[in-house]
Amino acid sequence: MDAVAHAPAVEHGPSLRQRLAARGFDAVTLLVIPAAIFSLLLFVYPFAFGFVLSFEPKAGGDWLANYRRFFSDPFLYETIAKTLWLAIPVTLVNLLLAIPIAFRVRLMRNQRLLTTLLVLPITLGTVLVAEGLLNYLGPQGWFNRTLMTFGLISQPLKLVHNYWGVFASLVITGFPFTFLLTLSYVTGIDPALEQAAATLGASAWQRFRHVYLPLLMPGLAITFCLSFVQAFSVFPSAVLLGEPAGPTRVISIAAAQAAFEEYDYSMGSAIAMIMGFVQLGIVVAVLASRGLFYRGPASGAKG
Amino acid sequence: MTIALSQFDEVRLDRVSRDFGALNALRDVSLTIRRGEFIALLGPSGCGKSTTLNCIAGLLPVTGGAIWLDRNRVDTLRPEERGFGMVFQNYALFPHLNVRQNIGFGLKMRGRPKAEIDRKVNEALDLVRLRGQENKLPGQLSGGQQQRVAIARAIVIEPPLVLMDEPLSNLDAKLRLEMRAEIRRIHNELGATTIYVTHDQDEALSLADRIVVLRDGVVRQVGAPKELYEAPAHFDVADFMGFRNKLKGKVVAIEGDRTVLDVEGARISGVARERVSVGSTAYAAIRSDDLEVGEAGPNAIAATVDTIEYRGREFVGTAHSAGGLDFVFRSHVPVELGSRIHLRTEDERILVFAEPVQGRQ
């Protein structure tokens, strides 16, 4: 119909619609709009707002005053190290626990049941886990009482309201996530590759070292980044299970105090921005190192 | 040529069984493979041929019986201790290693010196004609080249036994013929001992010195290709060897070495391959190549033509009888669709089998 009416136009080349379609734009592309609006309203705008706000100090002064204050006050800048000191070991422990367990679980039949059990801690949320740990690991908790009953210790161990309380809580809430990601990468590798390596004389350790590990590295890097970002933004467990004035005064606590105790939103935004850039720095460094490894498909043959 | 395969006299499977839960995937498979032989394990899918291969390689534990390499029992060893080379159906090349590293993998795992690895890998590259490709990753190779890498990788470790699991099934028809010849050439050049799993009887017939036909986890027949082709011992083996016409009838007489069947009123006489008795149900099996259009008379059965295809030198047609038997036949002259014809062949071209026992035995 249209085509017949505009037949002479064909001499001038394809229509605008055809040219757009050739570049991947058509009516279906419009379906991106809701997602774009969502991310614009809930991520881009608040981020940009916070970014600008961080350069408008409440107490006046020049535009970098907030950042200068952060990096000159040990009580503030030490939170970066304290947070990293929690987040990096926790992420590494989670990852190092997840790899051997994933290797065992990939051979199991009841993977689904196990997966469900592991997802539970994620759904419970950090606060409930923190409450549980306070009771369980506290001076009067089962753990200490059991050890004392058996005479293994005479004084209760201090396991909460310090670094290790937060550490334990982050491992418990972070592990399922790390594990599920690792499992999906491990099961994504064609088992025939391991069989081939075995028939070629490779021992179990050599098969892991020379076949699985190189193929897993890119996936493990992504898992590390996602787990690290989760651990780095720790807040509830650092307050409930840690020493929020001492060794577990993490960077999110500093931001919350600035914003909601000193009512200095500008300073709070500046700290949030610093937090974001530290995370970004680590993530970029880890992802960039992926370039050192093979990143193609992890199966023995092409499709 | 310094790729010298380990010397031994025979590999012996002694009543090997393998259960998957309640299912017997393999039952009492006994087989002796002599040095230098090319053995094909042939059978339909699910017959246990790949299971047999995986048991020999050590990738599946056997649940009964034993496997011997001369006087050494190997079924209790881990796959990495057996040292058998294996070529997988999907090649299973290490995607992160280039061709040279893939082929050298086995030697590296054995801690051989670098100079020796380089020399042997070069020889293997020459043997499979992949010189110039050694720095490519498997993903950059064609299917046929990947298959060559997989073969080179398996033989460079100088295994006493080379195991191949349907190595050609992922290739297109033309390449399959080429690689078939290559595999036999490599086997001959190295003096290798090969066990080759396939479901394609042409492949088995053209490659193997001996064919082992498996069905439902049981060895049905072992023999040279010519033997199996001309004298299958059982109905299911015949079915697999291209006897596409299966005429169900009743035994009416046994006259010397001829057994006469009544098939829908027609008298069909052939050579009995299994013991049959007068009055029992039996099958006459005839190759489509042997069934021709002819005159009414002995060994002829009336049929109606359903399809007719021109195949270059001759015509191949399908037809059905009044009683519902289906036929595949050949003809040098075109026949009319729907016409009534008589299909016939010679006595010695007809094999008579007892009615097979249904289901897993």
- Comparing B264 with A121, the larger pLDDT belongs to B264
Q: Which two tokens stand for residue A26?
A: 């058509």
pLDDT grade for A119, boundaries at 50, 70 and 90: confident
pLDDT above 90: residue A94: yes
Strand order across the B210-215 sheet: B85-87, B162-165, B194-198, B38-42, B210-215, B218-223
Tell me which residue in A197, A203, A296 faces B95 most closely, judged by beta carbons: A296
**B72-128: per-residue pLDDT in tens?**
899 999 999 988 999 999 999 999 999 999 999 999 999 999 999 999 999 999 988
The contacts of residue A131 (CB under 8 Å, 6+ apart) are A240
A226 and A79 share one domain: yes
A281 and A187 share one domain: yes
Task: Tell me how far apart the alpha carbons of residues A209 and B241 are, in angstroms, rounded to a whole number.
Answer: 46
Instruction: Look at A42-51, A185-194, B52-61, B263-272 and tell me which has the smallest mean pLDDT.
Output: B263-272
Task: Tell me how far apart the alpha carbons of residues B233 and B227 are, in angstroms, rounded to a whole number.
Answer: 9
ipTM of the complex: 0.83
Q: What pTM value is reported for the model?
A: 0.80
* Residue A201 to residue B90, Cβ atoms within 8 A: no
DSSP bridge partners of B80: none
pLDDT above 80: residue B1: no
Give percent of chain B above pLDDT 70: 97
* Residue B88 to residue A201, Cβ atoms within 8 A: no
- Note the pLDDT of residue A11: 59
Q: What is the CATH number of the domain that holds A252?
A: 1.10.3720.10
Q: Is A97 helix (H, G, I), strand (E, B) or coil?
A: helix
A22 and A163 share one domain: no
CB atoms within 10 A of CB B205: 18
Contact status of B154 with chain A (Cβ, < 8 Å): yes
Contact residues on chain A for B88, CB-CB shorter than 8 A: 192, 195-196, 300
**B202-240: per-residue pLDDT in tens?**
999 999 999 999 988 889 999 999 999 988 999 889 988
| A300 domain residue, yes or no | no
A110 and A180 share one domain: yes
Q: How far is CA A89 from the centre of its chain?
A: 13
Task: Tell me how far apart the alpha carbons of residues B92 and B153 are, in angstroms, rounded to a whole number.
Answer: 11
The residue-averaged pLDDT of A211-233 equals 92
Relative orientation angle of helices A265-289 and A65-72, to the nearest 10 degrees: 70
The closest alpha carbon to A143, from A153, B121, A220, belongs to: A153
A123 and A162 share one domain: yes
What are the Cα distances from residue B151, in Å, to A211, A295, B103, B139, B208?
19, 25, 9, 16, 17
pLDDT grade for B358, boundaries at 50, 70 and 90: low
pLDDT above 80: residue A295: no
* A:B CB pairs within 8 Å: 100
Max CA separation in chain A (angstroms): 97
Task: Tell me how far apart the alpha carbons of residues B74 and B319 are, in angstroms, rounded to a whole number.
Answer: 53
What's the domain count of chain A? 2
- Comparing A131 with A5, the larger pLDDT belongs to A131
Max CA separation in chain B (angstroms): 76
pLDDT above 50: residue A156: yes
| A68 domain residue, yes or no | no
A148 and A46 share one domain: no
Q: Which two tokens stand for residue A156?
A: 């209760």
pLDDT above 50: residue B361: no
Contact residues on chain B for A303, CB-CB shorter than 8 A: none
pLDDT above 60: residue A4: no
| A302 domain residue, yes or no | no
* Residue B143 to residue A302, Cβ atoms within 8 A: yes
Residue that has been written with the tokens 């008795």 in this structure: B277
| A58 domain residue, yes or no | no
**A63-90: per-residue pLDDT in tens?**
889 999 999 998 899 999 999 999 999 9
| A254 domain residue, yes or no | yes
A86 and A220 share one domain: yes
Contact status of B57 with chain A (Cβ, < 8 Å): yes
* Residue B85 to residue A301, Cβ atoms within 8 A: no
Contact residues on chain B for A302, CB-CB shorter than 8 A: 138-139, 143, 146
* Residue B105 to residue A293, Cβ atoms within 8 A: no
Looking at residue A62, the DSSP 8-state letter turns out to be -
Q: Which of residues 87-106 of B touch A (CB under 8 A)?
A: 88, 90-96, 105-106
End-to-end CA distance of chain B: give it in Å, rounded: 48
DSSP bridge partners of A164: none
Task: Tell me how far apart the alpha carbons of residues B3 and A57 are, in angstroms, rounded to a whole number.
Answer: 77
- Helix (H) or strand (E) run with residue B119 in it: helix B114-127
| A61 domain residue, yes or no | no
DSSP bridge partners of B318: B307, B328
A230 and A275 share one domain: yes
* Residue A301 to residue B96, Cβ atoms within 8 A: no
| A65 domain residue, yes or no | no
Q: Which two tokens stand for residue B90?
A: 């999907």
Task: Tell me how far apart the alpha carbons of residues B11 and B241 are, in angstroms, rounded to a whole number.
Answer: 27
Give percent of chain A above pLDDT 70: 94
Q: Which two tokens stand for residue B189?
A: 């050049």
Q: Domain of residue A35: give its range.
A: 2-53
Cα nearest neighbour of B97 on chain A: A294
Contact residues on chain A for B105, CB-CB shorter than 8 A: 197, 200, 202, 210
Q: Which two tokens stand for residue B251?
A: 């035994």
**Backbone torsions φ then ψ of B303, nearest 5 degrees:** -155, 160
Task: Tell me how far apart the alpha carbons of residues B352 and B263 are, in angstroms, rounded to a whole number.
Answer: 12
**Sign, CA torsion B189/B192/B196/B201:** positive
Q: What mean pLDDT value characterizes chain A?
A: 86
Q: What is the DSSP string of B27-38?
A: EEEEEEEETT-E
| A123 domain residue, yes or no | yes
The contacts of residue B39 (CB under 8 Å, 6+ apart) are B31, B33, B194, B195, B196, B208, B209, B210, B211, B212
The residue-averaged pLDDT of B302-323 equals 89
DSSP bridge partners of B73: B68
A78 and A40 share one domain: no
Type of residue found at A171: V
Looking at residue A61, the DSSP 8-state letter turns out to be S
A78 and A27 share one domain: no
Task: Tell me how far apart the alpha carbons of residues A224 and A286 are, in angstroms, rounded to a whole number.
Answer: 8
A193 and A238 share one domain: yes
Task: List the single best residue of A200, A205, A295 to mutate versus B (max B Cβ within 10 A).
Answer: A200
Contact residues on chain B for A206, CB-CB shorter than 8 A: 109
pLDDT above 50: residue A302: no
A48 and A184 share one domain: no
Instruction: For residue B342, count CB atoms less than 10 angstroms from its CB and return exposed for 0-12, middle for 13-18, buried for 19 or more.
Output: middle
Contact status of B137 with chain A (Cβ, < 8 Å): yes
Contact status of A214 with chain B (Cβ, < 8 Å): yes
pLDDT above 60: residue B359: no
